[in-house]
Chain A
Amino acid sequence: MSAVWPHLPALQVVLPLIGAFLAGFLRRGRTAFALALVVSWIMPFISAAMLRQVLASGPISYHLGGWEPPWGIEYRVDVLNAFVLVLVSAIGAVMVPFARRSVAFEVQDWRQAWFYCMYLLCLAGLLGIAITGDAFNAFVFLEISSLSTYVLIALGPDRRALLAAFQYLIMGTIGATFYVIGIGLLYLLTGTLNMVDMADRLPQAWPSQAQTVVAALAFVTVGVSLKLALFPLHVWLPNAYAYAPSWVTAFLSATATKVAIYLLIRFYFSVFGVAIDVNALPISEIIIALSLAAMFIASAIAVFETNVKRMLAYSSVAQIGYITLGIGLANQAGLTGGLVHIVNHALMKAALFLALGAIFLRAGTVTLDGLAGIGRRMPLTMAAFTIAGFGLVGTPGTAGFVSKWYLAVGALDKGWWVLVFLIVASSLITLIYVGRVLEVAYLREPAPEIAQADDPPLTMLLPLLALAAAIVYFGFETQWTAGIASTAAKVLVEGLR
């Protein structure tokens, strides 16, 4: 064990990578699933061990291949990315048992082994982005996760899934290329790709070469914002989420956008924030304006959507707005709220989309009309959906309330009470679309088509109920979410110049 211990950061990425390789060779979906299950359940233990170590004794720096940074690639784990690693790996582990039945229902037999291969590859990419301290390495992992994501989306049962995957491929590649251009400019300025080293050397270029620094900042921002679906760069998201297999939608909404948000935070606070005078630039204002636009416009579109999967996809765009609002506020409470919302939104959207996956398995539809009376046929599934829905609104007693509370405090710290009003107002729009679904599901008479529908098998029900329980638990017990997020936010905000 002691021989393995120092190599935990590498294992976090290498294990799913090897798992993906092996899953590609396994022709049978069942064996590939078993492999994915084992790998996914090892991941949270590794990340939790790293989080423990980081909280106890400060950042871990792992030198890949024994090469000293800044020449070699460094895996650097501090509180912020240990937090993100635990989130991604834990969500993956909780969700994987659900995949077996759902994927068997939605994906053809001979493609199932490939499905798990792509899932493991995507997991490796996402964990890689979160763990690496090297800007170019992050690009490679970004593309590993993106390419496997395109395949996962294209495996959706409808032919429109292919179109959605293609459109995402175009947008995603433009985003990744913008990111590389930004990194290229930073490399020209500093001669390094290591993020810590970059932050050390960037002040030499500021303000003498301010133009290039600002261009690099803009390219990185736009590139990463395309991946995290910041309004108005979100246009790929609704179709991709609506037509992907149910399980993929749940997994992506809980992890992929969150990891991209992490990357943006890393660049804003750990690279640009410490190196240059970011307050001289209108970044904060732009991010807050776009976040507010997302919160209101995307929520308003969600209200009128009749396909519930698409409705929740637009809701994701709106909820990402809350997270970026926390980034824009850039003070202790605001950033804590943003970081906590990364976790809380991941839990809520995973629960909501898994519930839809279960409904699709039993009722064969996810349109609003098709859900009529489903609450009486699938009581436990809809109970989980209801809890997550109220979490989305931000009802006290759910996790969603905690993040919105911190955001509101962050806004008040800046003296922007109008913003507090806007946060509450946008939550009310959320209540409208969540309420529409609940009204249809509970108050209407069940259609004859779903007379036979009942709650899904235990392997699907347990992940769903576990997520719902977590949403309530983290609504009361905030030590593991807000506590750690606040520690991470403190480091980031104090580092700002």
Chain B
Amino acid sequence: MATLTSLAQHYNYVITIFLMMTGLYIVVARANMVKKLVGLSIFQTSVYLLYIEPGKIIGGTAPIINPAFSLYSNPLPHVLILTAIVVGVATLALGLALVVRINEAYGTVEEEEIFERDRAA
């Protein structure tokens, strides 16, 4: 029961880890390259949540120096994740570009069929 309460109180982390595992599972289990990239994106996105959640403090304001406020949220994770999002977008774009080229070269984006065509060639 204590574990359950703890899980419920940290439901945001439960969601993060669920997304993480979902993404990783899709990457491993799917042979379609576009779906693999979708899984990879979900996996990366879950990490954005992992960083941003702890930075938010309930009732905390933006970190502006003002005597009226004493509770601040940490802005650094947002900045880090902004960078990580750019990296994620670049990775996805490059991955999709590769899939387009693979489709031109092989006529399919299914891994099994590609291996078969390589064996036949």
Contact = CB atoms under 8 A, between A and B. Distances in A.
A69 to B, nearest CB: 14
Contacts, number: 65
A140 B83 contact: yes
B105 A162 contact: yes
Contacts of B99: 166
Given A140-B87, A184-B47, A166 B54 contact: no
Interface string A140-164: 1001000100110010000110110
Nearest to B121: A159
B47 A166 contact: no
Chain B: number of interface residues, binned into ranges? 20 to 34
B3 to A, nearest CB: 15
A139 B101 CA distance: 27
Interface residues of A, number: 26
Contacts of A147: 90-91, 94
B87 A143 contact: yes
A177 interface: yes
B19 interface: no
Contacts of A365: none
Nearest to B98: A166
A77 B109 CA distance: 45
Interface of B: 24, 27, 33, 36, 40, 43-44, 47, 50-51, 54, 77, 80, 83-84, 87, 90-91, 94-95, 98-99, 101-102, 105-106, 114, 118
Interface in A171-190: 173-174, 176-177, 180-181, 184, 187-188
Which applies to chain A's interface (DSSP): helix, strand, loop or mixed? Answer: helix
A159 B54 contact: no
A184 B51 contact: yes
Nearest to B103: A162
B94 A151 contact: yes
A174 B51 contact: no
B50 A181 contact: yes
B84 A166 contact: no
B39 to A, nearest CB: 9
Contacts of B101: 154, 162
B24 A174 contact: yes
Contacts of B114: 163
